[in-house]
Every structure is written in C-alpha cells, then in structure tokens.
Structure 1
C-alpha cells in the first residue's frame, strides 16, 4: 500500500468515531428553523409552534429565522448551501418544487439539495367571493362567470403561490375565463377582496376565516378533497363543481440540507411525529382548518414527487411565468 493511501485510510478510520459521536451527541447547540415567509402568515404560525415544541422535545432551543424573498427562493437557496449537520431545519412547501420550473433562477436542485424529514401540516383554501358578488354557491358562480367571460377577476398572493395555482387549476378544469390579479401577499389581496376591488380568491382557511366571520366575503367552496371539520358546511370544489379530482392544499414539510446524517433525520422525524400526534396540537390548529399530520421520509418523498408532477404540468400547460 502506498504511504499516501495508507495515511488517507488511517485518517478516515480515525474520523469515523468522531462523526458517530457528533451524531449521537446531536443536538449539542441551538438549531435554526428557517421560515421562507415574513412573520405572521400561516407557514410562520405553524412553524413557530413546531419550533417551540421541538425545543422541548430535543432539549435545545430551536430559533425561528424568517428569510422571506423571491417567492421563497432566498430561503431555499440558503438551506441548500447550509452545513448538513442537523442544525438548519426548513419549513418547505410547494414553492420548493415549482420554482425551478416557474422561475428557472434558483441555486438548488429540488431532489439533490435536500433530504426530506416529515410532512407537518396541510391547509385547504377557501374559494370566497366579495359579499356583493351575485352568486351564492358554485352553480351560480359558474353560471355568472360563463355569462360574463373575462369580466371578473380572481386574486392571489402572487404568481406561482399555491393559491394562484389553485385558481389556475380551477380555471383549467371549469373552462371559466377569469382574470388573475396577483398581489404581494395574501393580506393585501384579502383586503382588496373585502373591499370589492377583487371579486374572488382562494385563501388559506386561516386567512379567510376573519373575512367570512365579519361578513365581508362569502364562502363558495373549499379546495380539499374532503370537507374540513373546521368548516363542515362549506362544500368542496370537487363535489360542488363536479370535479372529483380537484385538490389544492398548502402543505408544509420539514427538510434539511442534503447529506444530513440518517440518525439525525430519524431523530427529527420521530420528534415531529410525536408533536403532530399531540391532541392539543391537533385541536389547536383544527379550529383554523389546518390538518396537522406527520409522515415518514419515504411517504414525504412520494407526496413530494406527486405534487411536483401535478403543478409543474399545470405551469407548463397554462404557460405560467414568474413576474
């Protein structure tokens, strides 16, 4: 054996116990949970509760860091370049898998730059209209829009946002001609919907509820395949529009930089699963229409691939391009 080869082999052998020790000692310092949106939104709200409970479960602080910008690409790029040591956690969602197609301007590969840990939450969207809109249910909405093609607009929180994709899926499957109006965030879009400057919008249930309660908007349908326990009287788009396969949900899942040791991923997954099974956790978000649920990495991967196929196909078919 050459001396250089022998030295390299000896060094590798010496480092193995150190690597194993680092994994078994994890976590030995605070972790950072990256939220790709500004504080106050749905992703942030769910992420902060998980971070708080992970801190208690793992025995070390989990600090939330909001890295908003470029439709979540700022956060995704940051996590892709972070050290794969278990100290950078990311609340990823649909944008993680569509931005490479939607913008083409990302510094990560959705399949090679990250390891998937567990799904964390699912939130349906409520299709609601301004209180004065001349339709009380889905049948009336379809009839009114078909009689006035291109007259009404449908707002979203931005091009490529999941509620924009929900709107495009709805348009594609119903054949309705609606004008898409993107905003810089769901809050502003919701305000304009309440004021009548927009006629309809798919809003995350957490964001739609205050407007519905105040009577400023009226619910037409919900975007999950099954009715939400939080909104049992709101029919699904699937049933009310006779579109049995229609589904569009805002999901959040924990991902980490690719190469994170499996023992760490396993420990994180078990912690997320334990938290997601807590009755208090489930009930806390159930009232907001958020379904708290965990998964194995393999289940997350299957879901991830299916979501990518569905939305990337729609983006290409509809010619959706980032602004």
Structure 2
C-alpha cells in the first residue's frame, strides 16, 4: 500500500514537472518575438539589417521612441494612440451598457415576443462582417459620421455575444432577490443598479478586457470610414509605415511604434486580471 502511494506521488511529481516545463516553453515561444521587437526598437537601422541581429537592447532607445511618438507617416503616433484609446474604450463601454440593458429587459420584463427578439439578436452572430459592412457604411455616411469618433464607435457597440452572456448570468440570479426588491417598493431600474449590476461586476470586467482588445485591434472599419489622417488609429498607422516599392522601412521606428501599441492593452489586462479570471470562472458555472 505504501509502495503504491509512493509510486503515485512520484508519477504526480513527474507530471507536474512536465507540465511546468511545457508552460515555460510556451511562454518563451510567445515572449521571444516580443523581445526581438523591443530589441529592434532600441538599435539603429544598420544594426537591424546587418546580420546577425543583436539579441540585447541597444543605445537608441530614447531616440527611436521619441521619433515614434512625435512623428509618423501622416500624423504623430501619439495622436493615433489617442484615437485608438477613444475607440477601444467607447466600443467596450458601449457594448457592455447596451448588452446589460438588453439582457435585463429580456430576462426581467414580460413582453410579447421577448424570446423571439433575443434569438433575432443572437442570429446576428451568423452574419459575416462582409455582409453588414456596406449597409453599415451607407448608414454612417448618411448621418454624416465619417471621420469622427461617433462613426468609429457607434456601428460597433452592439454585441449579441455579450447580450447572450449577460442573459445567461441573469438567469442564475435567484428570483427571491427580485421578489424582495418588488416587496420593498424598488422599481425595475433601482433593482438593476443596486442588485444586478454589482453582482455582474466580474462579468463586466472580463468582457471589458476582451472588448477593449477587440476595439483596439480594429483595422477594416477605421480604414473604410476615415480619410482624414488625424483620425487614423494606431493599427492603421503601423500599416502605413511600411513603404511601397523599393524603399527601405525604418524598422527601429516601426518596432518602437508596435511596442507602444501593445502598452494600453497590456495595462488593461494586468490591472484587471483578477476580476478578468474571476469573471471567466463565474461564467462557466
């Protein structure tokens, strides 16, 4: 018996070591390209194009990042970072607010066809972006929202996925809470703000992280509706930094811009990681 237990402990120890080894290898595989990009952002152009490429940071850090922040193809990178930040925050907040209200109405308000309307919202997930993008552009152009933050944000703030997730979570809230609030004379919106929203905090945090990154990485939609360089996002700016023809790309500045573009999403993930993980775990229960 003791020998069997000892063998199980040894097998578990070996399995644990293998698991950690695979995790470390996975981290290295993911981190190494990012490290190379950072190194490339701190060296000069000749050092990048002359093999072998250095694996340790150089002495051009401040020069390259200053050039990246204060210059760009058409506008400074700082302006494009601000545009992306406004767009990402606007999309994330807009999707969460609309999805919270939609899911609350579907779950707690008894009106004819509420199940039908929910599935109509959910079926929009089956429509590819290519089907919706032309009519959406026509609507945005008709309202005069081209080259504006409202044009970047409003067409992307509806989310069937977030509505579905909030609906599923609201269905797990005990009916006794709604009954108690009704007995106390609380109106529906009071119940929503005082009970439902605080209970949804971890789900909101998890969705905010996902939706912020979704908004930050948008490329096709901003490319279609922005002709003013002052409204370019950082993803568009990085693409425009690659020259056409036989011109040589300014790799240190491009890599510095790419590293700067990673900073806001990383800050959001790191600052909200506890709520993010808890929200993902709660959504699986």
Query: Which TM-score bucket, shorter chain as reference?
Result: under 0.3
- Report the structure, 1 or 2, having the larger helix content: 2
Select the structure with the greater relative contact order (CA < 8 A; seq sep ≥ 6): 2
Structure number with higher strand proportion: 1
Question: Structure 1 length as normaliser, TM-score?
Answer: 0.24
